Structure 1
């Protein structure tokens, strides 16, 4: 009997995020042949992204790395580096702080987001290079590709997809894969 070898998923160099006509906070994400609905910023897209504006930046952003919840069992296959989210992991979103748009640890008094969320949005959370490698104050922070709220509720500027859609796309993502928001 002949063994069948499973082929590695095709590497996708660019993931496209196209606006959905008539709905400023909705989009379609295309990862190779996979096309899935998504939620984007509550105010839609912007070429002039600012901290707190609720917009998803119109940009080409490389995937850097990601986070996953370890205590919630799920099988994730991806060549992208995923770190386990632990209690006390935070992301600074206070523009005046030296740690702006960086991972920080609790206790941390300046404004921040918790990565270990009760709502599960960051059970899989991929960091896109928006204002990370080269930071500028007030240009926006915590722009992630993460899981969606029920009913495709808008994000604060991120791109969000269903858990099953994230699992389908993850095998094609690597460090440097570009997420291009049109």
Structure 2
């Protein structure tokens, strides 16, 4: 499937904000989606609607680093999950530095919708919406996302 990768290429991540898409084999551990924009049926992936207040912590000093948080109580660096653009209409959480996060190792390494073909990400892997839905729909417990 065609995809877009991080502006730093694929490799061993050096740290938060390096733009590198991590090399490896990963499991999908969850998914968020915009129910007002997408209908999603992924029987083998735990998917939940993105709330208006959902953010993802990208601040290494945050005890909730590399986890979802609620903006009403979150006071650290983060990125909003409910965006005006369609990038996170579907986002898929991989088990890179998750759930046991090492501060500064990299956060929010998702599969998500692309801006357009070959437009680099900040370290995620981005796909056409249809391909992303196909990945989720056909996912099994033995499936892996292999990045090389």
TM-score norm. by structure 2 comes to 0.91
Gaps of 5+ in 2: none
> CA shift at 1:46, angstroms?
1.8
TM alignment of 1:4-153, pairs within 5 A:
36-72=1-37, 74-79=38-43, 80-107=45-72, 108-153=74-119
Runs of 4+ in 1 over 4 A off after TM superposition: none
> CA shift at 1:176, angstroms?
6.1
> CA shift at 1:48, angstroms?
3.4
Contact 1:40 1:56 in 2 (8 A): yes
Which structure's CA Rg is the greater one?
1
Go from structure 1 to structure 2 and tell me whether the alpha carbon gap of 1:172 and 1:56 turns closer, same or farther (over 3 Å shift). same
Contact 1:49 1:57 in 2 (8 A): no
1:165 alignment partner in structure 2? 131
Contact 1:94 1:110 in 2 (8 A): yes
Contact 2:3 2:117 in 1 (8 A): no
> CA shift at 1:175, angstroms?
5.2
Question: Which structure has more RCO (C-alpha within 8 Å, separation ≥ 6)?
Answer: 2
Go from structure 1 to structure 2 and tell me whether the alpha carbon gap of 1:176 and 1:94 turns closer, same or farther (over 3 Å shift). farther
> CA shift at 1:133, angstroms?
2.4
For these two proteins, the number of residue pairs brought into alignment is 146
Q: What are the Cα deviations for residues 4-47 of structure 1, in whole angstroms up to 9, with x where unaligned?
A: xxxxxxxxxxxxxxxxxxxxxxxxxxxxxxxx110010110121
Contact 1:54 1:157 in 2 (8 A): yes
* Equivalent-residue separation in structure 2 for 1:175 and 1:102 (angstroms): 22
RMSD over aligned Cα, in angstroms?
Answer: 1.5
